[in-house]
Amino acid sequence: MVEDITSLVTGLGFPSIEAFLAAVILVIAVFGAIVVISTIRPVLGMFPYTYPNARVRARIGRIFTEKQFQEIIEAGNIEEVKNYLRGFPDFAKYIDQYPLEKALDAQLAENYDLVARITPENSRDAFKFLLKKWDIKNIKSIIIAKEAGLSPEETMDLVVPFGDLADKLDTLIDADSINEVLSALEGTEYTPLLEDAIPTYQETGMLLPLEASLDKYLLENLLRTVSTPEDDNTSYLKNYVGNMVDGSNLKIILRAKVDGLKFEDIEPYMISDGYQIREWKLKDLMEAEDVAGVISGLEGTDYAPILAEAMATYNETGSIGAFESALDKHVDETAKKIALKNQFGIGPMIGFLSKKEKEIKNLKIIVRGKREKGYTPAMIKEMLI
């Protein structure tokens, strides 16, 4: 028996039984290592997100519930809305410091700032770049305010004290003209964009070139930060950013069709690397004759059914607001799906920022409803997203 085993072992090319056993042990060890690594790797990927997600989940728990929104809607006037918000520390510190809409924006910006500071290193660049949305919002507000002849005090009420340009806001607001705003921005990343976009805006009075060029800069650079995903977390982040890009492109194309703009008018503002809509498809959509042609050209993507559903509202009102709301809702749904699929990684942070955006938008809708006459609580509730 022993001789038979020895013959079998030597027939396999091993000089002795001991050498064969050593080889078997090595194979088992390697296989065990592979199993351990494949088991531990997902856990190691979750570990950097443990503390950030604990912070974020605490804030998710403080987002207003449907019941709380109903209580705010039932407020008799703006002052009662402010008094209600003063009961929540997250809002109280801004309510008496700024006009109400600015206070809401500041509270939202604070949360973007928090996520950018606590997110793990492999996704930090994207969230830090996302903070630049406040620079872009402030630049738009200041330029429009200068064109409208608003005073520095009135302009100050429109800007949010967050972003890389926060220290420059006083200088930008005190500028006497748009050209002085450009001079104050000299040396920043925004100067080349504005040197091209502002003359077009001043000549045509159309905000599209100004808004689209700044939005394109933000989204293109966001895409660069997630262009080579390292793991599931960064892949989900790329998915989220890609859907934001698709939404931005489609909003511009639909607005162009309504405003009668041509292919060459909007082509410079398109971002080619979206999630579902690639460069060749963008070209087809831009060359569509009308809004219906754009929606027809989206057949086979997730956007066709949601925009087809919004078409009825567009036909009634003639406003692309229905399409924009549908696209925003799609990005929101994408964030929800990522939050559910990736509960121990980047999902909670993406889900939180999406929920926070929605909360602030709804608060602004309520504020607008309270300011303008003729809106009942039932009407305001119907307007919430």
| Domain around 150 | 98-206
Asked if residue 152 and residue 230 are part of one domain, the reply reads no
Asked if residue 138 and residue 173 are part of one domain, the reply reads yes
State the Cα–Cα distance between residues 123 and 338, nearest whole angstrom.
15
Asked if residue 246 and residue 188 are part of one domain, the reply reads no
Asked if residue 190 and residue 154 are part of one domain, the reply reads yes
Q: Beta-carbon neighbour count of residue 69 at 10 Å?
A: 17
If pLDDT is split at 50, 70 and 90, which confidence band does 212 have? Answer: confident
Asked if residue 246 and residue 191 are part of one domain, the reply reads no
Asked if residue 268 and residue 233 are part of one domain, the reply reads yes
Q: Is the pLDDT of residue 47 over 50?
A: yes
The identity of residue 308, as a single letter, is: A
The answer as to whether 139 is a domain residue is yes
Task: Find the range with the poorest average confidence among 25-29, 299-303, 306-310, 354-358.
Answer: 25-29
Asked if 196 and 217 count as a contact pair (C-beta separation under 8 A), the reply is no
Asked if residue 180 and residue 103 are part of one domain, the reply reads yes
Neighbour-count burial of 71, counting CB atoms closer than 10 A to its CB (0-12 exposed, 13-18 middle, 19+ buried): exposed
Counting the structural domains of the chain, the total is: 2
Which CATH number is 257's domain given? 1.20.1690.10
Q: Beta-carbon neighbour count of residue 114 at 10 Å?
A: 18
Task: Find the range with the poorest average confidence among 77-81, 159-163, 371-375.
Answer: 371-375
Asked if residue 255 and residue 155 are part of one domain, the reply reads no
Q: Is the pLDDT of residue 190 over 60?
A: yes
Q: CA dist 346 to 46, 119, 349, Å?
A: 9, 8, 6
The answer as to whether 381 is a domain residue is no
Asked if residue 244 and residue 174 are part of one domain, the reply reads no
State the Cα–Cα distance between residues 117 and 331, nearest whole angstrom.
23
Per-residue pLDDT, 3: 58
- Give 96-141 pLDDT, tens digit per residue: 999 999 999 999 999 999 999 999 988 888 899 889 999 999 999 9
Asked if residue 337 and residue 233 are part of one domain, the reply reads yes
Asked if 47 and 345 count as a contact pair (C-beta separation under 8 A), the reply is no
In the chain, what percentage of residues exceed pLDDT 90?
56
Per-residue pLDDT, 243: 93
